[in-house]
Amino acid sequence: MTKRIFEGVLPAITTPFSPDGSVDHEFLREHAQWMMSQGCSGMVPLGSLGEGNTLEFDEKVAILKTLVEALGDKPVIPGIASLSTQGAVKLAQAAKDAGCQGLMVLPPYVYTSDWREMKAHMSAVIAATDLPVILYNNPVAYKTDFLPQQILELAGEHPNVRGVKESSTDVRRVTALAAILPPQVELLVGVDDALLEGVLAGATGWIAGLVNSHPRESVELFELTRAGKYAEATRLYRWFLPLLRLDTVPKFVQLIKFVQEETGHGSARVRAPRLELTDAEKAEARQVLAAAQASPALVGV
């Protein structure tokens, strides 16, 4: 049986900023270690939630070095994206040099084109190292939709393609992938409010968002579902869903960071062009959080 390398709950870790706007490496280290202590399997920095598109190259490399040191032998699997193929290849190689154990490869920022060009970009980045790769499909954010047959084509040509993070929000896409992916390519859920459905369809990993504020609940939900304890999983899922849905709206970065701050696990600071939430948006998010906190009996089933 092929060994799974991306199994379990992998936080798409947020990037903490100090008051002066620089990356807060001390908190980054503490936050990653705290989530690992709650049962997470590794970390996925520099993705959409990690505000990777607002970080400079040197900042990205420094983040990777901090996390590799903080996690020891546990995997750090950074998001690899750039405006150019050359930039993405450079970052992939730097990630390997920093000690990362895998890569999550995204399509290029801004430019969206046909499969011929997207395949050339993805192939160049995948082939830049020998690290195992997760293909990240998020047509909602990046306007590029990698169809199941195209993913299969990349996996057939590149043996280090070992996973797919599916974030199209279409559960039917998860079932389509589960039906055709070879055993060595793992399927990972990429949107928080489709976790239970994704695991039931065959996903073996979850790159999660609200895990940044609720790691114990996230790990428990995943493990209950994987174990086939559907009554318990459904009960916890229903409790968690209003929070998980904060991961699927345009201001998901601001919202998740705000929930982190409200629960004592981070700061709401974001990097421009993002701005922190308005008072009205904060009040709405507080209502969602307060409703969850008012029924703690549903947690720890």
Active site positions, annotated? 136, 165
Q: How far is CA 247 from the centre of its chain?
A: 10
Q: Considering only CA atoms, which of 149, 141, 142 is closest in space to residue 180?
A: 149
Helix (H, G, I), strand (E, B) or coil at 164: strand
Long-range contacts of 82-90 (CB under 8 A, 24+ apart): 82/108, 82/109, 83/108, 83/109, 83/110, 83/111, 84/108, 85/120, 85/121, 85/124, 85/125, 87/57, 88/121, 88/124, 88/125, 88/128, 89/124, 89/125, 89/128, 90/57
Question: In the beta sheet, which residues pair with residue 103?
Answer: 133
In this structure, are residues 9 and 211 in contact, taking their beta carbons and an 8 Å threshold? Answer: yes
